[in-house]
Amino acid sequence: MPSQSISQTPDALNIEVRQNQEWNIGFTYTDSTGTLINLTGYTPQLQLRTSALAKTAALNLTVGSGLTFQPNTSPQVLVGAVMNVAPGKYEWDLKLTATGQGAIFLGRGVIQIDAEVTR
């Protein structure tokens, strides 16, 4: 499984996945020296939308529903979800939130969902 380490604002990660294929990737949040940052108390959420301004999410992943969260290990957030959305281009981001804390974005980018040929 590929993994991405984030120390500040993440670079865009643009990917291409076939419809109904499983997307697997891990994300880790580190400081500038590469030391793992403890994310205990945070809750991750990943959404796909047709655009960042779209009112509804095409796909919403949370812990137990496509995301595994291990705040003290690397990778800290594991994505393992079947891309069961309509073919097309979507914007995505992976956000961590905690009460009284600012949001941390572990990943963002564009995901191209290609149509299945064999059904």
Domain segments of the chain as ranges: 3-112
Strand (E) or helix (H) holding 69: strand 66-69
3-state helix, strand, coil in the chain (%, to 5): 0, 50, 50
How high is the mean pLDDT of the chain?
A: 89
Q: What CATH number has the domain spanning 3-112?
A: 2.60.40.10
> pLDDT-based confidence at 9, cuts 50/70/90?
low
Read off the pTM.
Answer: 0.87
Q: How far is CA 13 from CA 55, 115, 118, in A?
A: 22, 20, 27
Indicate whether 12 pLDDT > 60: yes
For residue 70, is pLDDT > 50?
yes
For residue 8, name the pLDDT band (cuts at 50, 70, 90). low
